[in-house]
Amino acid sequence: MSLVVVGSVAYDGVQTPHGQRERMLGGACTYVALAASYFTRVGVVGVVGEDFDPADRRFLEERGIDLAGLEQKPGKTFYWSGVYSEDMNDRVTLRTELNVFGDFQPELPPGYRRQPYLFLGNIQPELQRRVREQMESPRLVGGDTMNYWIESRREALLETLAGWHVLLINDSEARLLSGERNLRRASERIRSLGPRILVIKRGEHGAVLFADEGPFLAPAYPLDTVADPTGAGDCFAGGFFGYLAEQGADLRDGIERRLLRRAVIYGSVMGSFCCERFGVERFRTLTRAEIDARFKEFKELTEF
Ligand code: AMP
């Protein structure tokens, strides 16, 4: 194993203009781990309830994901549901039932503590910091957060971010965190808080990487049908981190500019595959060859 992923493992109910699912496997940790599993060995740290389907466990294991850190507790698995707007750029949350996730106290199994890569999914900033402290000497630490924590736990979040190398967030979160409307200025502010590598995700408009070498812009892959965008941002993070882990990236030696840019493209590739089907469905058939073919297509899309 090389990448440890922490966060929500959930059942989701989703409604988009292309259909509806009442209850399907989801959660940010699940999406990150699945996307990263095409590049590197992944171990997850999360919690599920007694209702967690053994078939879902098998599916993750078949992707080579280590579940030693996935605790099963009395009670129900975290449940989230949402409905998307006609153009799928907006989503309204209908239900958030934390269940066993409500008192999640992430504990890393001993074997996880020595791993080189750590991705902290969107959980309470204090918990993210505690997990970071359990790791011995990771080469690369990163994660994401959300509006809720930026607004309600700002001080704790700032303390947490100070220990990260990479932050992946969307544009509205970047503006909220920095207090700047202009993304370039927002990036400077955020990078001064700790994470020298910042990726701002802009949904169907792609992503922007800000690092010491200046910005890099990546488009989103032009899909003809987006079935369900749930988890696309998490899959971006999984592709980005998974690729860096596969390449042995080490921030302590300085990550090559080319490697970072390629990681952004692999992130975009994984986000795009995620949207093609509902939930995690696409990962039941997706192959590394398809991923690399789409990566090549990206080159052609942007070469001039
Ligand atoms: P994304 O579409 O990238 O924002 O990720 C969607 C996933 O995040 C879904 O699978 C949900 O189960 C999960 N999720 C929704 N709300 C929360 C929350 N408050 N904490 C952690 N995970 C959540």
Q: In the chain, what percentage of residues exceed pLDDT 90?
A: 93
| Residue range 183-199: mean pLDDT, rounded | 97
Strands 140-143 and 166-170: parallel
Average pLDDT, rounded, for the chain: 96
Instruction: Count the domains in the chain.
Output: 1
Check: CB of residue 137 under 8 Å from CB of residue 107. no
Q: Which of 246, 272, 232 is nearest to 37 (CA)?
A: 246
Is residue 11 scored above 90 in pLDDT? yes
Q: What pairing do the DSSP bridges indicate for beta strands 66-72 and 42-48?
A: parallel
Residue 156 burial (CB count, 10 A) = 16
- pLDDT in the model for residue 169: 96
**Ligand 1 atom having least distance to the Cα of 230:** 2
Tell me: pLDDT of 136 over 80.
yes
**Nearest C-alpha to atom 21 of ligand 1 is from which residue?**
8
Q: Tell how far the Cα of 60 is from the centroid of ligand 1, in angstroms.
A: 18
Q: How far is the CA of 28 from the centre of ligand 1 (A)?
A: 5
Report whether pLDDT(1) > 90: no
- Cα-to-centroid distance, 82 and ligand 1 (Å): 10
Determine if ligand 1 sits within 6 Å of the CB of residue 40: no
The H-or-E segment that residue 217 falls in is strand 214-218
- Minimal-distance CA residue to ligand 1 atom 15: 80
Stretch 263-280: mean pLDDT, rounded? 97
Whole-angstrom Cα distance, residue 277 to residue 232?
11
- What pLDDT does residue 251 have? 81
The span from the CA of 292 to the CA of 294, in Å, is: 5
159 class by beta-carbon count within 10 Å (0-12 exposed, 13-18 middle, 19+ buried):
middle
Domain with 115, as residue range(s), is: 3-302
Of residues 164, 112, 105, the one with CA closest to residue 135: 112
Q: Is 170 in the pocket of ligand 1 (CB under 6 A)?
A: no
- When pLDDT is cut at 50, 70 and 90, the band that residue 254 belongs to is confident
Q: Whose CA is nearest to atom 6 of ligand 1?
A: 231
Residue 153, number of CB atoms within 10 A of its CB: 16
Atom of ligand 1 nearest to the CA of 10: 12
Question: In what helix (H) or strand (E) does residue 165 lie, and over which residues does it extend?
Answer: none
Answer yes or no: is pLDDT of 255 > 90. Answer: no
Distance (Å) of CA 134 to CA 50, 70, 100, 168: 27, 16, 22, 22
Amino acid 266: pLDDT: 98
Query: Does residue 77 have its Cβ closer than 6 Å to ligand 1?
Result: no
Q: Determine the distance separating the centroid of ligand 1 and the alpha carbon of 9, expressed in angstroms.
A: 9
Determine contact, residues 1/112, Cβ cutoff 8 Å: yes
Q: State whether residue 201 is helix, strand or coil.
A: strand
CATH number of the domain where residue 90 is located? 3.40.1190.20
pLDDT number for residue 21: 98
Give percent above pLDDT 70 in the chain.
100
Distance 75 CA to ligand 1 centre (A): 19
**Statement: residue 253 has pLDDT above 90:** no
- Adjacency order of strands within the sheet including 78-84: 19-26, 10-16, 78-84, 91-97
CB atoms inside a 10 Å sphere around CB 38: 25
C-beta atoms surrounding 103 within 10 Å:
10
Q: Give the mean pLDDT of 129-135.
A: 96
**Centroid of ligand 1 to alpha carbon of 253 (angstroms):** 33
Dist. CA 11 → ligand 1 center (Å): 10
Q: Whose CA is nearest to atom 3 of ligand 1?
A: 231
Reported as a single tens digit per residue, the pLDDT across 63-118 is 999 999 999 999 999 999 999 999 898 899 999 999 999 999 999 999 999 999 99
